[in-house]
Amino acid sequence: MSVNIYYENDTNPKLLADKRICVLGYGSQGNAHSRNLADSGLNVVVGLREGSKTFDKVKSQGLEPVEITAAIKSADIICFLLPDTAQPAVYKQYVEPNIKPGAAMLFAHGFNLHYGQIIPKPENDVIMVAPKGPGKLVRDLYEQGQGVPCLCAVAQDASGQAKDLALAYAWGIGGARAGVIETTFEEETETDLFGEQAVLCGGLSALMKAGFETLVEAGYAPEMAYFECIHETKLIIDLIYQGGLKKMRHFISETAKYGDITRGPRVVPPEAKQEMRRILDEIQDGRFAREWVLENQANLPVYHALLRKDEKHQMEQVGAQLRGMMKWLGE
Ligand code: NAD
Ligand code: MG
Ligand code: MG
Ligand code: MG
Ligand code: MG
């Protein structure tokens, strides 16, 4: 399956010329999007709740803070750059009663739409522009004349122009300079959840922890185990980020390379893939979403219990101590 990729020449920024964009949330993405949109000459305001502590910060960064209800009432595009867990309540309380007919709702992740936590009105466009990078990178690259590749998708096309609107927005934040990959809310949501659960966050932290425990249980110094199984992953990941497995294998020793290709598959055997498949099934049939929504409604008991356990793990104590020897790390 090949995907459609769009660049600046494929976008029509004029579509945004007379539109007012309201950004909700001034965190990682909200900060970067609103500043980039403003620097692209677009009409953007940041919608804030009354008494918000962010008011002064928004002003000091040259943007216009507007009380959230007024901001929504006058907006042509409402950007949900709030934490995913906060979006449904903000939609119910502020957006649903005040959104203009014909206005568009824009998301940077599809969870709430895909799993029915936000049910938009039929007269509104629902689009996604999701940068494949953190807000800071979205902002820094924009200032350098570059951009972070983005995903775009349309969940609801009331205007008949929803996709062009998403592409114009991607132009506004600089993403079209790098390329905008067309996807669907379903594909973005399910692959995002799977990636973070099976590989990036869940898989990787479990792998590092298991390696650390194996060495410590065999009598090796925890400091050695930490360096070998946790700390040094960054060096390897940076090489893969820049040039794939090929570049990584070019820079490691011949011994490391032979160990990699002969032992790696034993650590991730076919049974691990079967478990990955079950994790994907739970994402696809909504079980994970239901579990996470209910966990939030119950005030996060499992979340807190499991996080507490990891915070107390020896690897975290040893890691903190070793980072004390590398003060330059945080800089
Ligand atoms: P964030 O946590 O960095 O920022 C959220 C902002 O919303 C904060 O300023 C917070 O003060 C504010 N906020 C929290 N609760 C609120 C409420 N109830 N009402 C109003 N404001 C509230 O969030 P983020 O990481 O920028 O994520 C925003 C969206 O972007 C999410 O959908 C996320 O999945 C998506 N996304 C994030 C990244 C990333 O790298 N961070 C990348 C791609 C997509
Ligand atoms: Mg992701
Ligand atoms: Mg995610
Ligand atoms: Mg080593
Ligand atoms: Mg070595």
- Closest by CA to 232, choosing from 214, 259, 211, is 211
Q: For residue 92, what are its two tokens? A: 């119910």
Topology (CATH level 3) of domain 5-183: Rossmann fold (3.40.50)
Give the C-alpha separation, 206 to 250, whole Å: 26
Delimit the CATH 3.40.50.720 region(s) of the chain: 5-183
Question: Which pTM value belongs to this model?
Answer: 0.95
Active site residues: 109
- Provide φ and ψ at 173, rounded to 5°: -95, 0
Instruction: Tell whether 186 is in a known binding site.
Output: no
**Residue having the nearest C-alpha atom to atom 1 of ligand 1:** 27
Over the stretch 164-221, which tens digit does the pLDDT of each residue have?
999 999 999 999 999 999 999 999 999 999 999 999 999 999 999 999 999 999 999 9
Give the C-alpha separation, 50 to 63, whole Å: 17
Pocket flag, ligand 1, residue 26 (CB < 6 Å): yes
* Cβ–Cβ under 8 Å, residues 44 and 23: yes
pLDDT value of residue 240 = 98
pLDDT value of residue 136 = 97
Give the C-alpha separation, 232 to 209, whole Å: 13
- Closest by CA to 209, choosing from 309, 136, 79, 104, is 309
**Which residues of the chain fall below pLDDT 50?**
none
pLDDT value of residue 331 = 62
pLDDT value of residue 329 = 86
Pocket flag, ligand 1, residue 167 (CB < 6 Å): no
